[in-house]
């Protein structure tokens, strides 16, 4: 099989995976709405307090700056200096690709490409994107693991298993990457030496080893304000729907749902979030019918809106760059 055929097969599998995730999202949404009642959810959405929803949107936008700050922390060991707002713009561009283009060419890839263009350090740019994502996931999963273990345990055991598995996988994977894994593979699996000795692979390995424990800890710690902002966003959206429950429930459930959404089952977490919110806020807490699903829908609308904003900002930036290049 030629390399062209292999690439075509890989692209075909990605398209099939995207289609299956979209179908799954539609199916689980249809199932949830059939149980809760579409009219009930629509009635809840019609009564949303626009001021509280707008405030939640502002907090969500501020969380993008927190993510950008975490990315900046992970860029320092790479000697790549990019401004906070420029990184936030790249994050918004990534949201756009993740939200509107389910092609497998995800937002992280776009961020890495754009950053490598600005820094001319491809391996370091890609490594920083991966590292920022991993420390963010580790921080959120550790927060989720702590809060779900606080008595009384409010989540099912399978959810606890998912969170624990994600945390363990990131910790073990990070430890292996920081170890001399390439040398070990070259010594014990000689047929891999062409790969382990490749210049690009070695550059990625060197970039990963540039991170010391202080940088990793700083990256993980930024997950605290980010998760706090995410909790506050959901709390404000809940208030906009009239959900009068303590914020403590959000402190437990929001990090949990964020981790469960990592499972590659649905398109952008749509459907999974509705199911989890209905399970946690509806079944466990006893929130009124339709409100948990409406909360999930409001959050997804917010994410889509931010993705659209990222596309608009990038279009304006691209147009400005073209004008500057065309001017004498």
pLDDT at 283 over 80: yes
**% the chain with pLDDT above 70:** 80
pLDDT at 104: 46
Q: With b meaning 16 or more CB within 10 Å and e meaning fewer, what string describes 270-299?
A: bbbbbbbbbbbbbeeeebebbbbbbbbbbb
Quick count: other Cβ atoms within 10 Å of Cβ 244?
9
Quick count: other Cβ atoms within 10 Å of Cβ 251?
17
Q: Tell me: the pLDDT tens digits for 72-120?
A: 998 888 888 889 999 999 999 888 888 776 544 578 888 888 888 888 7
Q: Tell me: the pLDDT tens digits for 255-266?
A: 888 888 877 778
Contact by Cβ (8 Å): 91, 111: yes
CA-to-CA distance for 257 and 102, rounded, in angstroms?
Answer: 21
The arithmetic mean of pLDDT across residues 114-133, rounded, is 83
Check residues 314 and 185 and name the one with the higher pLDDT: 314
Q: Tell me: the pLDDT tens digits for 44-83?
A: 999 999 999 999 999 999 999 999 999 999 888 888 888 9
Q: With b meaning 16 or more CB within 10 Å and e meaning fewer, what string describes 108-135?
A: bebbbbbbbeebebbbbbbbbbbbbbbb
Angle between helices 247-260 and 157-178 (to 10 degrees): 60
Q: What's this model's pTM, rounded to 2 decimal places?
A: 0.84
Quick count: other Cβ atoms within 10 Å of Cβ 166?
21
């Amino acid at each position: 099989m030629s390399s062209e055929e292999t690439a075509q097969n890989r692209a075909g599998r990605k398209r099939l995976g995207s289609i299956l995730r979209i179908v799954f999202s539609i199916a689980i949404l249809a199932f949830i709405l059939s149980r809760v009642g579409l009219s009930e959810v629509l009635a809840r959405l019609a009564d949303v307090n626009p001021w509280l929803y707008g405030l939640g949107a502002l907090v969500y936008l501020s969380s993008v700056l927190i993510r950008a700050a975490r990315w900046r922390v992970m860029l320092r060991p790479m000697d790549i200096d990019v401004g906070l707002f420029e990184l936030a713009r790249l994050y918004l561009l990534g949201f756009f690709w993740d939200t509107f283009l389910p092609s497998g060419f995800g937002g992280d890839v776009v961020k890495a490409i754009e950053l490598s263009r600005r820094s001319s350090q491809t391996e370091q740019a890609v490594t920083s994107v991966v590292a920022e994502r991993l420390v963010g996931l580790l921080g959120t999963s550790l927060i989720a693991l702590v809060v779900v273990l606080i008595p009384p345990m409010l989540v099912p055991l399978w959810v606890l298993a998912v969170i624990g598995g994600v945390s363990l996988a990131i910790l073990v994977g990070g430890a292996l990457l920081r170890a001399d894994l390439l040398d070990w593979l070259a010594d014990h699996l000689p047929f891999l030496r062409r790969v382990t000795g490749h210049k690009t692979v070695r550059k990625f390995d060197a970039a990963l080893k540039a991170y010391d424990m202080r940088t990793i800890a700083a990256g993980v710690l930024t997950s605290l304000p980010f998760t706090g902002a995410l909790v506050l966003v959901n709390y404000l959206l809940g208030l906009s729907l009239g959900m009068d429950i303590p914020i403590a429930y959000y402190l437990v459930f929001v990090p949990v749902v964020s981790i469960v959404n990592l499972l590659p089952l649905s398109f952008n977490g749509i459907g999974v979030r509705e199911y989890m919110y209905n399970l946690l806020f509806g079944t466990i807490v006893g929130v009124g019918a339709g409100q948990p699903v409406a909360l999930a829908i409001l959050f997804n609308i917010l994410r889509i809106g931010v993705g659209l904003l990222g596309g608009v900002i990038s279009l304006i930036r691209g147009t400005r760059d073209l004008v500057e290049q065309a001017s004498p």
